[in-house]
Structure 1
Amino acid sequence: MVAIAPHVSCTTARIPQKTKGSQMPPEEICKINMRSHKSGVSEDPKNFERFYSNFVQTVILLGTFYYSIERLQPWSTFTTDTSYKQIFVNVVVVGLIMISVVIIKYWQHGYRSLPKFDTVYNLYLPFMTSLLFDTPSTVINTILILSVLNSYRWRTQLVVIVLQVCLIFFNFDAGDRIKTTISIIINSLLSLLLKYIGQLKSLDNIDSNLFSILLTNIIYVSEADSVHFRILKGIILALMTIISINFMLKQIMHLKPVMQSLFFAMGFPLFANIFIHLEGGKNPLLWLVEYILESTTRQRILFAWISILVLSIPSILIEKDSLSLNTSRKLWHFIIFLLIVPSFQIDSNFVKIALSGTIPVFLSIEYVRFQNLPPLGSAIELQLRRFADSRDHSGPLIISYLYLLFGISTPLLMNNSPMGLIGLGIGDSLASIIGKRYGRIRWRGTQKTIEGTLAFILTSFMVCLILLHFDKAVIFNHMTPLRLLLLCILSGVLEGNSVLNDNILIPAFMMICEKLLTL
């Protein structure tokens, strides 16, 4: 009796002939054909699911982009502001360049050469953020977006640099061209450095370019003059300087880890004192002490923070083994929400100064762990690995806690907005917990569930309503409950259909939507 597999042919017509003396057995040929048939059948549903999730994301992103055009009206004959017309012309040109490069690569190398869909966020997030919160820098940030194409071969990199220089020539006067060209150089170097450090695993091409644009704005492009921004800029410059010196000394003099730790401990505060420029030329540390002591409210906030951290950190570390990885990670989200939201309503400037100093401190912690510098490197590695997820284990960096800090800080520092806290501290946390425990219906193309998305929308909206009721003037100026509901729905659906890191996408998109809905 002959067994027949339905719809599967065991013919050898499509199998390349082997050399003489190495003929493949017929049963092996049959197995290969069956596997090929199965993979071909399963590929179509996966492609459709990916297309579905990408289509949903595209609709949401294009919808918000179109709404910004409607509100700003760059081509209206009634507006006197011509800068918006220049901004939108540039983003259209940059978008067409990116599409043309993708088409050329597809024509030359086929489907496998296409970039990931998430590359679209390299265009959307920097453009919309600078457009709404730092309009004068939008043109240069739009030009910097083209650096994402540098993941291709050196010929493409050369073409990208030429295109960026041409865009600078057409958009800026002679006096500004040198400055903008320097920003391109800084951004390119930072992007290459991040890709090298993260090995395109901890930080992929998209992450590296997003963070390089952010850092370029902080250390060079942005002209913000607030106290918290000057502190953030100065400490990051100090951190980059001492890390660069340590790296060169290690390469030239083969500096031992103990000496690297010593140089870092001495050099970091020294360079911070040099790069942080405060009124009257005050020492940053002495200024901070005076700033805290002059207000009993700030002293109480600081005492509350220390008390909560002293109680919560040991408790979570002790109970870590009895909790799932997901639950223990989300607990930190809740704690940060409780630490910041009440304090921000009481003294927002103090909270922003504290966050500006905390970001470089956590970058320093990751540097010490990454280099395994004594005496704390091994201890930090041991504790952070207990909360690391699959992506943290895939590369040399542990970035989840850094993403969380950037996510909650960016909306607060840029727009006095708690959207990062609400989205990550409440919405994303409960969406993840409820989705993993009770989720049954999944969004096509992702592992996220519709139940988790509903949890995100409902819990985020409820928290927004509570904050709106208690302190509308500070937190949600000009926002109505209906607008907040729309914001939470768009953010929840986008989060459910995207695979970009939630700690990057959710805060940025919610901050953008909040600003758009108040234009």
Structure 2
Amino acid sequence: MAFSIWSAIFSTILYYKLYIFILEKLPKCFTLGEAAVCTQSYTLLLYFTLVNVFQHVEKTPTTVMQMSTLTIQVGLFGISTIIFLTYLCGIRSPTKFYILTGSVFVFTVLLPLEILLKKNALLWILNLFWDDLQTNKVVLYWTVFSLVAIVSVNKRIKEAKKATTAVRKIFHVLTVAVFVPGLVYNCSFLYLASGVIFGIFFLLEVLRILNVPPLGQALQNGLVIFGDEKDTGIIALTPMYLLAGCALPLWIHPAPCDVTNSATFSLLPLLSGLLTIGIGDTAASIVGSRFGTHHWHGSKKTIEGTIACVVSQLLTICFLIFLDVLKLPTTKDHVKTVVAIIMTSILEAKTDQVDNLALPFVMYLVLIV
């Protein structure tokens, strides 16, 4: 009873303080709804990090998923500490920033994880990579697509050509190409990698804002070319929303990776982000901008784009079934899938919020009912 009361008071006060802070200090970065969702998510992250850390002080985590969860939570807490101290101390010097980052990383991430995991976290991650051939193949595959993305970005920056919405959607497709093999062949490593990359995104954004060499200026140049029209504040949130939206079902689904280290037994709900924003939103944007003529009432988005959103997701599911990667054994599964796709496609056309967060969550909820 006392723990429940403490938890409620802690979460409520933290949420209120963070929500007001975000709206006051980061104007134009969030709508009221987006600020509420992000603040709730961060509040839950901090709360469950505390709970998980206390649980494993005496009971060492044994499974890869348990160790990955703890690593992600402590790592994101350390990155939050870096950001908070950088803001609080008004750090602008690159030297001071790197000293702060190194010190905080050692004392709030590496040392606590050494105690909790009973092993060095960095060496454990490297062992996950080197000791498994399947993981080697998946990481090599990810590396190829990452290089393709980097080369494409550099080429666009050198050309100094502002990317259109359709061009930006290429990154949605690349995200799908990266996530699906990970879900099918090495679910637990994808789970860990998505959390680690999410934290790295925040650090890169700090480097960009502070213009910290060697990456600060390059990141700013990339934002100028690829920045979304919604990124009007100091923080460019669209890339983070894309990763979070695609990984959200994997993060919140109970026991997403089975004993074979694959997510195929519950793959459809875990595809919620990839289907809605990786496939559907991309198709809607490209078709709507090029061929759309009939607009939804009070919206810039077109009916043709919405139809493309629905059809592209249905075709993707049919293709995965054909490859025997996805199974829909019952009529109920088919009905839920169609309903979820239609609902989220209409939501994509009607919402003025960041759909990278809303669409995956809505589809996930429909599919797990």
TM-score (norm: length of structure 1) = 0.61
SS of corresponding position for 2:226? coil
Is 1:284 aligned with 2:121?
Answer: yes
Percent of aligned pairs with the same residue?
Answer: 23
- Aligned counterpart for 1:307 among listed residues 144, 147, 157: 144
Distance 1:361 1:316 in 2: 18
Aligned 8 A contact 2:285 2:305 in 1: yes
Change (3 A) 1:326 1:381: same
Shift of the alpha carbon at 1:258?
3.0
User: Following the alignment from structure 1 to structure 2, what is the Cα–Cα distance between the partners of residues 342 and 323?
Assistant: 31
Contact kept in structure 1, 2:156 and 2:225, CA below 8 Å: no
Matched, 1:511 2:347: no
What root-mean-square deviation, in Å, do the aligned CA atoms of Structure 1 and Structure 2 show? 2.3
* Offset, 1:503: 0.6
1:228 matches 2:68: yes
Aligned-partner residue type, residue 338 of structure 1? A
Alpha-carbon distance in 2 for matches of 1:301, 1:269: 29
* Alignment match of 2:34 (pick from 191, 207, 225): 207
- 454-463 vs 267-276, greater mean Cα deviation: 267-276
| Equivalent residue in structure 1 for 2:218, among 349, 356, 379 | 379
- Matches of 1:276 and 1:448 in 2, distance apart? 47
2: CA distance, partners of 1:301 / 1:289: 14
Q: Do the aligned partners of residues 278 and 507 (structure 1) sit closer, same or farther apart at CA in structure 2, a change above 3 Å counting? A: farther
- Within-5 A mapping of 1:49-198: 173-198=1-26
How far apart are the structure 2 equivalents of 1:409 and 1:226? 17
| Contact persistence 1:464–1:484 (CA under 8 A) | no
Distance across 2 between alignment mates of 1:346 and 1:440 = 42
**CA shift at 1:324, angstroms?**
4.5
How many angstroms apart in 2 are the aligned matches of 1:477 and 1:270?
A: 50
1:227·1:278 contact (CA, 8 Å) conserved in 2?
no
8 A contact 2:138–2:181 mirrored in 1 = no
Distance 1:239 1:279, change over 3 A: closer
| 1:227 to partner: Cα distance | 3.1
Question: What are the superposed Cα offsets for residues 454-499 of structure 1, whole Å, 9 maximum, x if unpaired?
Answer: 00000011112222442236xx686633321121111111211221
Deviations 1:200-238 (A, max 9, x none): x11122211111111111120476783332222111110
1:471 aligns with 2:325: yes
**Alignment partner for residue 177 of structure 2, among 330, 338, 354?**
338
User: Separation in 2 of the partners of 1:340 and 1:193?
Assistant: 34
1:396-428 Cα deviation digits (max 9, x unpaired):
111111111111110122224011011111110
Q: What stretches of structure 2 of length at least 5 have no aligned partner?
A: 53-64, 257-269
In structure 1, distance between residues paired with 2:166 and 2:343: 25
Higher Cα Rg, which structure: 1
Code of the residue aligned with 2:319 in structure 1: it is I
* Separation in structure 2 between the aligned mates of residue 293 and residue 284 of structure 1, nearest angstrom: 14
Query: CA offset at residue 504 of structure 1?
Result: 1.2
Task: Decide which moves more: 310-319 or 401-410.
Answer: 310-319
Residues 1:395 and 2:233 are matched in the alignment:
yes
Residue 263 of structure 1 pairs with residue 100 of structure 2: yes
Q: Cα–Cα, structure 1 residues 378 and 319, in superposed 2: closer, same or farther, change >3 Å? A: closer
Per-residue CA deviation, residues 300-327 of structure 1 (Å, 9 max, x unaligned), is 1111111222133213431565684212
The 8 Å contact of residues 316 and 328 in structure 1, kept in 2 or not, is answered as: no
Q: Count the aligned residue pairs.
A: 337
Q: Which residue of 2 aligns with 1:218?
A: 45
Rounded to whole Å, the distance in 2 between the matches of 1:451 and 1:373 is 44
Amino acid at match of 1:262: I
Q: 1:390 aligns to what SS in structure 2?
A: coil
Q: Is the CA contact 2:294–2:302 (under 8 Å) kept in the aligned structure 1?
A: yes
> Are 2:276 and 1:427 aligned?
no
CA deviation vs aligned residue, 1:43-102 (integer Å, no higher than 9, x gap): xxxxxxxxxxxxxxxxxxxxxxxxxxxxxxxxxxxxxxxxxxxxxxxxxxxxxxxxxxxx
Q: Aligned-pair distance for 1:189?
A: 2.3
